[in-house]
Amino acid sequence: MWTEKYRPKRLEDIVNQSDIIKGITNLVRSPDIPHMLFSGPAGVGKTTAALCIAMEILGDEWRKNTLELNASDERGIKMVRERVKEFAASVKLATDKDFDKPKIIILDEADEMTSEAQTALRRIIEDSARTTRFIIICNYLSQIIEPIQSRCVVFRFTRLPKADVIEHLKMIAAKEKVKADEKALEQIYDSTGGDLRHSINVMQAAAGMGAVNAANVNAAIGLSGRSKVGDILKLALAGKFNEARIKLLELTQVYGMSETDFLKYANQEAYDMKLENPGEFAALMAEYDYRLASGAHPEIQLAALLAQLGRLKKN
Ligand SMILES: Nc1ncnc2c1ncn2[C@@H]1O[C@H](COP(=O)(O)OP(=O)(O)OP(=O)(O)O)[C@@H](O)[C@H]1O
Ligand SMILES: [Mg+2]
């Protein structure tokens, strides 16, 4: 995967986000490194920055002294507590006796944790503060409880601008020795909206078809985007909720499609399908569009939408 192959290893190689990177670089070099909280949309460098920080602080010892936890995998706070406790207590395996760096815990998708779990996390952060530093990552800052926010230096990552994405794609294309048209690259940006991971994936898919040109990019976007959304809609409308939901998670988490894009494509696909009851469908879409816009949890909302679509058919 090009996204992994070209994931920056040093803070200064991260594309754009320059104010954030400057701020982080200063903190990382200060004698007392604080906890940090990163928020922002998918595929813009949050996890990458956290890994770069670990490498910068810990050097060659970074792997042994960094714990990566995914809050949404390890559902219960109990699990987080045990893993953190064990990790914080474990002897540092540094070869150098004077090694006095903190251990680093990267807690990804922290906004998936309930507020009770976050309250417990706050205690864990305090209890292990002597030896560890947390880098907490989320998409929605509003879903992180205030006491955690106030214990961290907060950095808000933003979608990447067109010029930076295109330049980065050109760099990768040159290294991979594939031809990439300017127009095709612009098209990639326009359909991925500043999500660099998604952009790189689309370019790799197009390159796999021979060259990064308009036709292949279109096909790659079609393959990845609209037509997959169409398949999910069909499953949902047929009442196959579980299958539809698994495909949805694949699309949003593995492929990195944003939830609002999902709604957008679902809308386009549905009208091409000539539904029996387009009015009810439109009302449902409007309802869930509104819920997402007002900040409700996207994964839960889209799953609920799929469930509602299944009922639509039966009625
Ligand atoms: N600012 C960036 N500079 C360079 N590469 C980037 C940047 N943002 C994303 N990428 C590319 O996209 C991939 C995914 O980025 P990363 O894991 O940092 O995203 P993220 O912000 O953590 O997203 P998510 O919220 O989905 O976890 C990286 O491996 C890298 O190839
Ligand atoms: Mg990430």
Residue listed under structure tokens 């922002």:
40
The domain that contains 179 carries what CATH number?
A: 1.10.8.60
In this prediction, residue 70 carries a pLDDT of: 84
Do 252 and 176 reside in the same domain of the chain? no
> Could you tell me which residues are beta bridge partners of residue 37?
136, 154
Question: Which of 202, 224, 246 finishes a domain?
Answer: 224
Q: What percent of the chain has pLDDT over 70?
A: 94
**3-class SS at 164?**
helix
Q: Is the CB of 305 under 6 A from ligand 1?
A: no
Instruction: Compute CA distances 68 → 21, 44, 257, whole Å.
Output: 21, 18, 23
Do 83 and 207 reside in the same domain of the chain? no
Q: Is the CB of 245 under 6 A from ligand 1?
A: no
Nearest-CA residue for ligand 1 atom 26 is: 42
Range of the domain at 240: 226-314
Do 259 and 174 reside in the same domain of the chain? no
Do 170 and 291 reside in the same domain of the chain? no
Q: Which ligand is nearest to the CA of 46?
A: 1
Q: What is the CA radius of gyration of the chain?
A: 22
Do 36 and 51 reside in the same domain of the chain? yes
Nearest-CA residue for ligand 1 atom 18 is: 45
Do 102 and 185 reside in the same domain of the chain? no
Q: Which of 66-75, 176-185, 209-218, 234-243 has the lowest mean pLDDT?
A: 66-75
Question: Which of 205, 224, 243 finishes a domain?
Answer: 224
* Residue (of 22, 20, 13) closest to 37 by Cα position: 20
Question: Which of 129, 156, 183 finishes a domain?
Answer: 156
Do 135 and 254 reside in the same domain of the chain? no
The arithmetic mean of pLDDT across residues 45-57, rounded, is 95
The count of structural domains within the chain is 3
The domain that contains 122 carries what CATH number?
A: 3.40.50.300
CA of 44 to the centre of ligand 2 (A): 8
Do 14 and 124 reside in the same domain of the chain? yes
The domain that contains 243 carries what CATH number?
A: 1.20.272.10
Q: Is the CB of 159 under 6 A from ligand 1?
A: no
Instruction: Compute CA distances 115 → 3, 71, 123, 143, 302, whole Å.
Output: 32, 12, 13, 8, 21
d(CA 6, CA 214): 23
Look at the chain and count its residues.
315
Q: Is the CB of 194 under 6 A from ligand 1?
A: no
Nearest-CA residue for ligand 1 atom 19 is: 43
d(CA 61, CA 113): 29
Burial of residue 208 (number of CB atoms within 10 Å: 0-12, 13-18, 19+): exposed
**3-class SS at 145?**
coil
Q: Which residue has the higher pLDDT, 93 or 219?
A: 219
DSSP class of 250: I
| pLDDT per position as a tens digit, 96-141 | 555 678 899 999 989 888 888 899 889 989 888 888 999 999 998 9
Residue 168 sits at the vertex; the CA angle it makes with 202 and 159, to the nearest 5 degrees, is: 75
| pLDDT per position as a tens digit, 178-235 | 999 999 999 999 888 789 998 999 999 999 999 999 989 988 887 666 778 999 999 9
Do 69 and 100 reside in the same domain of the chain? yes
Q: Which ligand is nearest to the CA of 41?
A: 1
Ligand 1 atom nearest to CA at 14: 3
d(CA 236, CA 307): 7
d(CA 191, CA 185): 10
d(CA 77, CA 47): 21
The two three-digit tokens of residue 4, written as one number = 């992994």
Q: Is the CB of 47 under 6 A from ligand 1?
A: yes
Do 17 and 147 reside in the same domain of the chain? yes
Do 24 and 95 reside in the same domain of the chain? yes
Q: Is the CB of 15 under 6 A from ligand 1?
A: yes
Do 232 and 209 reside in the same domain of the chain? no
